[in-house]
Amino acid sequence: MTSVAVIGGGLIGAGWAAAFAGAGCATRVVDPDPGAAARVMSTWERARVVLTQLGNLAAEAAPPVVVAILPEGGVDLIQEALPENLELKRRALADIERKIGPDTIIASSSSSFTADAIGEGLVRPDRLLIGHPCNPPYLMPVVEIAGGAATTPETMARARAIYEAMGKTVLELKKPVAGHLVNRLQAALWREAVHLVATGAASLEDTERAVTEALAPRWCRLGPMSVFALAGAERGMAGFLDALGPQFQALFDDLGAPVLDAGTCETIARTYEAANLPPLAKIAADRDATMPVILELVAQMNRERDESR
Q: What percent of the chain has pLDDT over 70?
A: 100
Q: pLDDT tens digits, residue range 163-180?
A: 999 999 999 999 988 889
Q: Give the integer Cα–Cα distance in Å for 51 and 15.
A: 12
CA distances from 117 to 24, 88, 93, 122, 170 (A): 32, 12, 12, 11, 22
CATH code: domain 3-172 is 3.40.50.720
Q: Where do the structural domains in the chain lie, given as residue ranges?
A: 3-172, 182-277
Strand, helix or coil for residue 147: strand
Q: pLDDT tens digits, residue range 292-307?
A: 999 989 888 888 888 8
Q: Give the integer Cα–Cα distance in Å for 124 and 257.
A: 40
Q: Is the peptide bond before 136 cis (omega within 30 degrees of 0)?
A: yes
pLDDT for the residue numbered 1: 85
Residue 226 contacts residue 232 (beta carbons within 8 Å): no
182-277: CATH topology is N-(1-d-carboxylethyl)-l-norvaline Dehydrogenase; domain 2 (1.10.1040)
Residue 194 contacts residue 264 (beta carbons within 8 Å): yes
Q: pLDDT tens digits, residue range 19-61?
A: 999 999 999 999 999 999 999 999 999 999 999 999 999 999 9
Q: What is the pTM of this model?
A: 0.88
Q: Give the integer Cα–Cα distance in Å for 164 and 89.
A: 25
- Residue 72 pLDDT exceeds 80: no
